[in-house]
A and B are shown apart, each in its own frame.
Chain A
Amino acid sequence: MARFLTIGERIHVISPTIRKALEERNPEPIIKRAREQVEAGAHYLDVNIGPADRDGEELMPWVVKVLQEEFPDTPLCLDTANMKALEAGIKVYDRKPGKPIINSADAGARIDMINLAAEYDAMVIGLCAKDGIPRDNDERIMYCTEILERAMEAGLSQENILFDPLFVVIKGMQDKQQEVLEAVRQISEMGLYTTGGLSNVSNGCPRELRGLIEATFCAMAIQCGLTSAIINPLDKLVMDVIKTADLIKERYLYADSYLDL
């Protein structure tokens, strides 16, 4: 079985530093954040440029090139709602380190992203949602299979889709956590791959608790079948727990020094 896939989340337009760097086309801060994440062991880097309605088609290729020149061995996850920007980004993307991931399609307005992924032989994150957070798991699985059907029609095989059941915040939605884990299990039992944004879970919690909450949720989700997550790789606890969970899942052989590798 393949190792758990980690997608580093720290190149995000929400961060003022990144926003400024994107606006000014200043590579330095972006490269710095990328380097930290690569060194911490992230497999993929997410690149969120926001809606980028105005200049997305030019911005996405720029940032893709900046990152790939510096990190030729690290594949990217292109994150924006702007389809044109995604297409432009994929066109300049060098797939030597791995296929690009499109973040993200859903079962509603953004279902066409599936076709985009099929057209360009990319991977795609499929949000099991239509508008807003799904009501229950029946709805989640409905959306999941709607996305899957669209993918089959478009000729995109299931290994290329990471289904995201939509992780929800613990503070305020504590009663939904088990349901999300159950959704991970149900999707996994269909033989599909899954992912989710771990920081969604700990949003708004005290800083010193966030890593613990995310790591614990992640371990529990991995047991339900979770195959990947969008995370902050600088959080050593989360990374160590993922390595350990992979170990317990027998995805690689144990040795006393496994955390050093």
Chain B
Amino acid sequence: MAYKMPVQKYSGKINEVTIGNGLKLGGESVLPFYSFDGDIGNKPAIGMEIWDIYPESWPKCLQEIFKDVADDPAKWANFCIYNYSPDFICLKFEGASPDGLDRSPEECAEIAKKVAESVSVPLVIAGCQSNEKNAKVFTKVAEALADKNFVFLSAVESNYKEVGAAVGMAYGNIVAAESSVDLNLAKQLNILITQLGIKPDRMVMDPGCSAVGYGFEYVVTTMDRIRLAALQQNDTTLQVPMILPVSFETWKVKESVATEDDAPEWGSQEERAVGMEISTAVGVLGAGANAVILRHPRSVEVVRNFINQMTE
């Protein structure tokens, strides 16, 4: 008997969402990278994370790369774009944290505007630990960057109304719904955000991320189930591209923060941290991520190579 290849054809399709001027996410109608089944949609995108303040808390090996530019977010962004060509820049307002610098929303908007004016790629705006503060920051930043199609990371259960109304409705940007590895909340948040009047192709989702080894099975399973619901059950509430801020998680786990003095048997800290970042990024891409955010140039290079090989 001759071999017959099985095919999984689905009725559902992930929305195609345009970020900035022309960075397209999603559009696939098959499981991630299953090009043998059908249309895999747009290539997953890679963004690089930068901060509005000098990243004092980053491991030294990472600071070293950006130390000459990291005082100025616009310089930092352009340094990344010029040297590593990411698809987008993720500007994280760590300085807005009430526990830290407690930068005002107006100040953040000023910085965001300056960065936006100086770069050639779309921005993803991320906030700090405080969801309450983020709502205020996002409102001002979205106003300053009105109708740019930039992504705001993110709207959560406690602030989605404020974030949705400002970012999505009033100022024409893209809302990311964040649900920290909770499948039902992921779906509910998407419903609530569309009920605010935001079009499904004007939103993305962050289903929650963790580093490999740190409950990563929950991340994979949540993403698998979201994708299967979207494709197999044609659940329109979940046909939303997923963006995973990988670097927010991988650079704080033991494998990445332990210095060579702390763990001499483990070898180079930089390589370990890069390894954690790459493996986590590929892990979520394999489960359906349409965009990942990274810090280390080496990770960007390897993950891009991986994506190219899988999609070309």
Which of B104-112, B180-188, B253-261, B304-312 contacts its partner?
A: B180-188
**B210-252 with Cβ < 8 A to chain A:** 225, 229, 233, 235, 237-238
Q: Does A120 contact B (CB under 8 A)?
A: no
Partner among B187, B192, B195 whose Cβ is within 8 Å of the Cβ of A253: B187
Partner among A3, A251, A261 whose Cβ is within 8 Å of the Cβ of B237: A261
Assuming the A-B contacts A251-B233, A252-B233, A253-B229, are A260 and B184 also in contact, with contact meaning beta carbons closer than 8 angstroms in the complex?
Answer: no
B233 contacts A257, C-beta separation under 8 Å:
no
Interface string of A230-261 (1 = CB under 8 A from B): 00000000000000000000011111110011
Q: How far is the CB of B109 from chain A (nearest CB, A)?
A: 33
For B235, the chain A residues whose CB sits under 8 A away are 252-253
How many residues from B make CB contacts under 8 Å with A? 15
Q: Does B119 contact A (CB under 8 A)?
A: no
Q: Does B282 contact A (CB under 8 A)?
A: no
A152 CA to B267 CA in the complex, in Å? 67
For A257, the chain B residues whose CB sits under 8 A away are 188, 191-192, 195
A254 contacts B233, C-beta separation under 8 Å:
no
Dominant SS among interface residues on chain A: loop
A256 contacts B188, C-beta separation under 8 Å:
yes
Q: How far is the CB of A91 from chain B (nearest CB, A)?
A: 28
Interface string of B71-103 (1 = CB under 8 A from A): 000000000000000000000000000000000
For B237, the chain A residues whose CB sits under 8 A away are 255, 261
B191 contacts A253, C-beta separation under 8 Å:
no
For A261, the chain B residues whose CB sits under 8 A away are 191, 237
How many residues from A make CB contacts under 8 Å with B? 10
A-B pairs under 8 A by CB, number: 33
For B192, the chain A residues whose CB sits under 8 A away are 257
Which residue of chain A lies nearest to B230 when distances are taken between CB atoms in the complex?
A253
A255 contacts B184, C-beta separation under 8 Å:
yes
A251 CA to B229 CA in the complex, in Å? 9
Which residue of chain B lies nearest to A2 when distances are taken between CB atoms in the complex?
B233
For A252, the chain B residues whose CB sits under 8 A away are 229, 233, 235
A3 CA to B229 CA in the complex, in Å? 12
For B225, the chain A residues whose CB sits under 8 A away are 253
A260 CA to B190 CA in the complex, in Å? 13
For B229, the chain A residues whose CB sits under 8 A away are 252-253
B187 contacts A255, C-beta separation under 8 Å:
yes
A261 CA to B237 CA in the complex, in Å? 9
**A156-181 with Cβ < 8 A to chain B:** none
Q: How far is the CB of A237 from chain B (nearest CB, A)?
A: 22
A254 CA to B229 CA in the complex, in Å? 11
B233 contacts A260, C-beta separation under 8 Å:
no
Which residue of chain A lies nearest to B192 when distances are taken between CB atoms in the complex?
A257
A253 CA to B229 CA in the complex, in Å? 7
Which residue of chain A lies nearest to B185 when distances are taken between CB atoms in the complex?
A255
A261 CA to B235 CA in the complex, in Å? 10
Interface string of A118-139 (1 = CB under 8 A from B): 0000000000000000000000
A3 CA to B236 CA in the complex, in Å? 15
A255 contacts B233, C-beta separation under 8 Å:
no
For A251, the chain B residues whose CB sits under 8 A away are 233
A255 CA to B229 CA in the complex, in Å? 13
A254 contacts B187, C-beta separation under 8 Å:
yes
B184 contacts A254, C-beta separation under 8 Å:
yes
Q: How far is the CB of B184 from chain A (nearest CB, A)?
A: 5
Which residue of chain B lies nearest to A251 when distances are taken between CB atoms in the complex?
B233
A252 CA to B236 CA in the complex, in Å? 11
A253 CA to B195 CA in the complex, in Å? 18
For A256, the chain B residues whose CB sits under 8 A away are 184, 188
**A40-96 with Cβ < 8 A to chain B:** none
Interface of B toward A, CB cutoff 8 Å = 183-185, 187-188, 190-192, 195, 225, 229, 233, 235, 237-238
Interface of A toward B, CB cutoff 8 Å = 3, 251-257, 260-261
Since A3-B233, A252-B235, A254-B183 are in contact, a sample of 20 more A-B pairs with Cβ atoms closer than 8 Å, ordered by chain A residue number, is A251-B233, A252-B229, A253-B183, A253-B184, A253-B225, A253-B229, A253-B238, A254-B184, A254-B187, A255-B188, A255-B190, A255-B191, A255-B237, A256-B184, A256-B188, A257-B188, A257-B191, A257-B192, A257-B195, A260-B191
A-B contact pairs, 14 of them (CB 8 A): A3-B233, A252-B233, A252-B235, A253-B225, A253-B229, A253-B233, A253-B235, A254-B183, A255-B185, A255-B187, A255-B237, A257-B191, A257-B192, A260-B195
Closest 7 CB pairs of A and B: A255-B187, A255-B188, A254-B184, A257-B191, A256-B188, A253-B229, A253-B187
